[in-house]
Amino acid sequence: MEALMPEPQIYVERTLAIIKPDVIDKEEEIEDVILRSGFRILQKRKLQLSPEQCSNFYAEQFGKMFFPNLTAYMSSGPIVAMVLARNCAVSYWKEMLGPSNSLRARITHPHSLRALYGTDELRNGLHGSVSTSSAEKEIRFIFPEAILEPLPTGQRARDYLNLYVKPTLLAGLTALCKEKPAEPM
């Protein structure tokens, strides 16, 4: 029986999604697409960033020609930031977003979110983290109260399941068998 049981795995990964100022009126529509794509929205916050906060958030873009326009655009109105979770969240969200240039996205990825909601390279409607490490950093920036514990994988995940989950399940199922309720549901 043990040989037939699959290895325990924890599939949840987190990423940051931002609905930018020019498409905030499409918030409900975009959230619906997110939820239908298998994501869970763990946290959500509507806020307006100052130009200084935008400069800090996009610090890796500093020195590029579009940086001043980017910080002005991102601080021009409220944004909606969300922590999304699912299996391979970062790569799946990037795939849903499509290319950062909305004009190019309309040609190469016509069903992507940036093709649908963006207007050009700067005003592309949505933001997504580029990697799991940048997702963690960006989530901490937008949600400073968030507790981001590393998700266990491999042997750590198996140890967690064996130590906490399996004993609880065994106790619950044993109690249920002893009771033998007529209507278990």
d(CA 69, CA 80): 19
Contact (CB, 8 A) for 13 and 88: yes
Helices 132-142 and 89-97 meet at what angle, rounded to 10? 80
Contact (CB, 8 A) for 148 and 14: yes
- Of 20, 94, 114, 127, which one is the catalytic site residue? 127
DSSP assignment of 24-67 equals GGGHHHHHHHHHHTT-EEEEEEEE---HHHHHHHTGGGTTSTTH
- Residue 84, classed as helix, strand or coil, is strand
Is residue 127 annotated as a catalytic residue, yes or no? yes
Q: Exposed e or buried b for every residue in 112-131, given b needs 16+ CB within 10 A?
A: bbbbbbbeebbbbbbbbbee
CA dihedral 54, 55, 56, 58 (to 10 degrees): 80
Active site residues: 127
